[in-house]
Structure 1
């Protein structure tokens, strides 16, 4: 996928907006918007949606090309491609043979489909399955992109998250892997789940394929996926409580 910086600039000028006007409307930093228009920065879907809303145009007018290695989540890729092909949720669900509510959850990112379902979705969209399973970007890349979207320097983000600016720089460069506690701090400042930084749909799919069929079928069940989605928002203490409860439950079953 290519973000059309020149198209964003043309639409902005057509509406008589200055860079500052559009940055304010889209709630982006002026420097970040300028880099997007010049093509030196690749914005996330969240930023594309902000710009599309500020310019009052469909998101598809701001992008072109196949959505493969984009840094977008699986559901976001499916939604953009579906919209490009002028298909409703119901039409794609019927074509794939899954329920409307399940497809909606896939697009919202609350569940991750089984490989066979993913292949059917790709077939329904008329694209190769590999187009939906690209690499989602490194933790450092995601952190830097979010930071720049909010117009924060490394020092400002470090101050908000109560960590050192040097640590932020090392994380963004891929030199260190942050602790869970640090990830939670950064996620809270950025308004995202810690899972945003570490989950990659392609990697999850590969891991699931290595499991035995019974366990794989259990893990891709919508109810189990809902539980896993909720776990993503737990802090370390809450997660430990859940693990302790599971261990206690298993011991009571054995006794």
Structure 2
């Protein structure tokens, strides 16, 4: 299995370049001093969540901290990724098929892995899911590796994670080794215990940076605005029902005309 490796030396160089001590960077990234020290010595491989914290604290893209490899061992198939993202967004098979301009039966075959979609179809599906086609096509960073890294970062054994998620320790071991792929229900349980969304396990390192690079400058500038970033950060911690409530509130606010009122 090829895994994603963080460049500890690069983190140390960026930290020293900014004049941060090890303690200051650890504080900024909300990590323990000892854990950050191990990351810089490359004796620990942090999760993508931790890499995101470090990148934000150092004000760089995640790509600058990563050495990436690619491989298909233990990674979700394109169809499985589509199903996970579609389900998380609350879209039915018919909803996505209709939006992408394909038949529900064809989409079902794609999700089951019976057929491989054309690049044009894949782009249509990705667009309706609100992700880059690269997210669906890339195999870098396996689900098993991400689960193991996050579990170890939280100091949990396989048995402890299994008990919390209501599954067997043997299944956790098989997932981490890439021998089996978890069902969507199991993936949701694991994600809830680890405090992430199911998409965390299938989104690839650098995928967000890749998507930003493909956007036009105006949209990219808007998304990088501090106020927009603050909203997105808060939205990441909302449940599906909470997010739906916020969206409905925004729609009502705009319909009332308040959003056009001048201050």
State whether TM-score is above 0.5: no
Q: TM-score range by the shorter chain?
A: 0.3 to 0.5
